[in-house]
């Protein structure tokens, strides 16, 4: 009897405990369902916690939330504890302008249906390669002005290359100091249609950028491009649906841009072709590329430059030699003076001798004598 009662007591205890748990969970659910986090505004399924000087993501959002704005705060890191409650309905997360420095592993693990993620205007220095779940539905990733400097971008580039972002359609990498994109940077993003690389100090477009099959919009404005090589132009031409933005680059209008100019004048792919201008040479600066004639494209510019520099160099060398010569003269001024005096004296002696001889010669009485003495 005793063991039975004990077991019954245990059972009861268990039943009581689980009842309590249910109650608590229900309470938590009802609370989280209806409570808006401190310093946030909630309307329908959108929560906005903007410019509140928050130093962490608010801990509990209503579980029915679809859109979250936690922007303009002072949140230096996010990690897997930032979203402790699963938010199955959340599709949009905006974390712009938070001075974010670190994005930890598995941050977004509890947000399985995220479609749009905005991490723009931060100062990210560490980005975990496991920040995004392996299975995700992300379609828009905004990393505009997100990174402290380009050495902090390696992790995110490997996330892009990992092959996990299969649904990504729009990628904004603008206003980052990228300089050069690794080969294949986007080749794993098989649904990508829109890339912005505006103002990212890009100096050349590698093949990898174009390996994305469905690419439709490529924004390369305000970079450091001087010319597009023929291979790149050929690949652009292979994608008839591609639209390009290319203004604000320092195009160099010499003979090497000839191919590109021909392509540009015939292409319908460059949306802002009217706005492309030459940055060099000086004679063509600010000239719209479309108005440049092929005959104006010269490579003499560089030769002239070389000649100019060699003339300047020659001038400098001559000046140096002159200065050294003057210096030598100056340092030897005593010797030179002496030398001049010597010459003068010698001259005088000579002249005197001559004068004397002349006098002798001119004296007819002494002529014979002089002839005799000369012989």
Ligand X SMILES: *[C@@H]1O[C@H](CO)[C@@H](O)[C@H](O)[C@H]1NC(C)=O
32 or 189: CB nearest ligand X: 189
CA distance linking residue 106 with residue 78, whole number of Å: 10
Cis peptide preceding 281, ω within 30 of 0? yes
What secondary structure does DSSP assign to 92-159, as a single string?
Answer: EEE--SS---EE-TTTTTT-TT--EEE--S--B-EE-TTSS-SS----EEE-TT-BSSGGG-HHHHHH
Query: Least distance (Å) from ligand X to the CB of residue 72?
Result: 10
Q: Are 281 and 254 in contact (CB under 8 A)?
A: yes
Measured from the CB of residue 280, what is the shortest distance to ligand X in angstroms?
20
**CA angle (251 as vertex; 250, 253 as ends), nearest 5:** 135
CB of 222 to ligand X, least distance (A): 7
Angle, helix 367-374 to helix 333-362, in steps of 10 degrees: 130
The residues that touch ligand X, with contacts defined as CB under 6 A, are 53, 55, 74, 76, 96, 118, 120-121, 125, 142, 144, 148-149, 151, 170, 172, 175-177, 193-194, 196, 199, 207, 217, 231, 266, 271-272, 275
From the CB of 141, what's the least distance to ligand X, in Å? 9
CB-based burial of residue 74 (10 Å sphere; 0-12 exposed, 13-18 middle, 19+ buried)? middle
Q: Is the CB of 32 or the CB of 78 nearer to ligand X? A: 78
Question: Rounded to the nearest whole angstrom, what is the least distance from the CB of residue 57 to ligand X in the complex?
Answer: 14
- CA geometry: angle at 220 spanning 215 and 226, to 5°? 125
Instruction: Report helix, strand or coil for 65.
Output: coil
| Smallest gap from residue 298 Cβ to ligand X (A) | 22
């Amino acid at each position: 009897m005793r063991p039975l009662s004990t077991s019954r007591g245990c059972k009861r205890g268990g039943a009581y405990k689980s009842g309590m748990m249910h109650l608590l969970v229900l309470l938590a659910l009802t609370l989280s369902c209806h409570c808006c986090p401190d310093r946030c505004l909630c309307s329908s399924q959108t929560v906005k916690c903007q410019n509140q000087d928050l130093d962490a993501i608010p801990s509990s959002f209503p579980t029915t939330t679809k859109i979250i704005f936690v922007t303009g705060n002072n949140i230096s890191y996010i990690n897997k504890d930032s979203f402790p409650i699963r938010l199955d309905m959340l599709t949009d997360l905006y974390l712009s302008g938070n001075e974010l420095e670190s994005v930890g592993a598995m941050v977004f693990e509890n947000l399985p249906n995220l479609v749009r993620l905005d991490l723009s205007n931060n100062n990210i220095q560490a980005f975990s390669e496991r920040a995004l779940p392996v299975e995700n539905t992300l379609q828009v990733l905004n990393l505009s002005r997100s990174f402290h400097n380009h050495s902090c971008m390696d992790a995110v580039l490997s996330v892009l290359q990992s092959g996990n972002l299969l649904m990504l359609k729009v990628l904004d990498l603008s206003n980052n100091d990228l300089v050069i994109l690794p080969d294949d940077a986007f080749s794993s993003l098989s649904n990508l249609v829109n890339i912005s690389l505006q103002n990212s100090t890009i100096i050349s477009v590698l093949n990898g950028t174009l390996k994305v099959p469905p690419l439709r919009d490529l924004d390369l404005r305000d970079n450091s491009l001087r010319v597009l090589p023929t291979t790149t132009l050929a690949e652009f031409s292979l994608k008839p649906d591609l639209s390009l933005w290319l203004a604000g680059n320092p195009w160099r209008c010499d003979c090497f841009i000839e191919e590109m100019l021909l392509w540009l004048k015939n292409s319908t792919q460059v949306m802002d072709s009217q706005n492309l201008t030459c940055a060099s040479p000086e004679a063509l600066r600010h000239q719209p590329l479309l108005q440049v004639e092929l005959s104006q494209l010269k490579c003499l510019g560089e030769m002239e430059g070389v000649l100019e520099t060699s003339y300047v160099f020659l001038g400098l060398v001559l000046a140096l030699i002159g200065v050294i010569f003057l210096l030598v003269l100056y340092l030897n001024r005593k010797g030179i003076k002496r030398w001049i005096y010597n010459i003068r004296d010698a001259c005088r002696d000579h002249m005197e001798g001559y004068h004397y001889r002349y006098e002798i010669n001119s004296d007819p009485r002494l002529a014979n004598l002089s002839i005799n003495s000369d012989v």
